Amino acid sequence: MNRNLKLFRISIAMITVMSAVIMVVSPGWFFNNLPEENFLFLSMQKIAIVPCDDCQEGVREVSLGNSTASGMVFSQDRNGMSYVLSAAHFCDFIDPIERSLPEELVSNYFWISNVHGASWQAEVVYTEEPTDLCLLKTDMPIKRNIDFASSMPTMGEKTFAMSAPLGISSPGMVLHFSGIFSGCDSFGSCFFTIPSTFGSSGSLILNKNNEIVGMIQMASPEFYSLSIGVGVDDIKKFIKSAEEELEISLF
């Protein structure tokens, strides 16, 4: 009896020591200090100016609805403007009703909100359809930049994300997710076992060092535990193209 108790205590001690070592060497397997201050809940409102017979000025504003997404502020230029990454299918979304109206009559208004509930207006400054990436500019202050990884994670490595699926976002709260990097296919789509659905689009995927390795842009409609999107190389190429087009420096 005493011998079994001694062996049990030794086993517990060994497990405790091993756990402590793993936490020091690879803390991401236990917790990850994600940059919550950089996470953003994005919303867009479409306003159309349409003619009307029963109003004094002959036209009126009509809301074509709202849409939401996720994103992250990652850098600031020399003029103090901050830049946000999200998904182009959110930034460039065209409402079915909008297709029947002249383009100049429809305006898109973008707002970003941080984890504390503070909000700023944002402007889309660059998008790219093939990679489904969008860059927005805002005067939101930024406390720290987010680095880009030099390469994709090793297959099987743990990754992390913060997002607002289904628009679930509230001051003082941001949903945290983790999953395994499962590789990229021949078309450049990368797969992560991170839960996602509508509203998760634009969420940046980070490695254990809080470096950007990808973005959530798609989810399987029948398997919400899988996120799909471009990898870090495509994101860095997109940023480089945006820098040249906008004559700014973000890296």
pLDDT tens for 125-165 read: 999 999 999 999 999 999 999 999 999 999 999 999 999 99
Specify the pLDDT at position 57: 75
Tell me the C-alpha distance between 97 and 64, whole Å. Answer: 8
Specify the pLDDT at position 25: 47
pLDDT digits (tens, 9 = 90+) for 34-59: 999 999 999 999 998 888 877 777 78
| Adjacency order of strands within the sheet including 223-229 | 212-215, 204-206, 158-163, 175-184, 190-192, 223-229, 218-220
Specify the pLDDT at position 98: 77
Specify the pLDDT at position 59: 82
Q: Which residues of the chain have pLDDT under 70?
A: 1-32
Specify the pLDDT at position 105: 81
Could you tell me which of 162, 149, 160 has the C-alpha nearest to residue 73? 162
Specify the pLDDT at position 33: 86
Specify the pLDDT at position 22: 41
Specify the pLDDT at position 65: 85
Burial of 78 (0-12, 13-18, 19+ CB in 10 A): exposed
Q: What is the pTM of this model?
A: 0.84
Strands 218-220 and 59-76: unpaired
Tell me the C-alpha distance between 139 and 81, whole Å. Answer: 5
CA angle 126, 84, 101 (to 5 degrees): 50
Query: Is 180:158 a contact under the CB 8 Å cutoff?
Result: yes
Tell me the C-alpha distance between 109 and 129, whole Å. Answer: 20
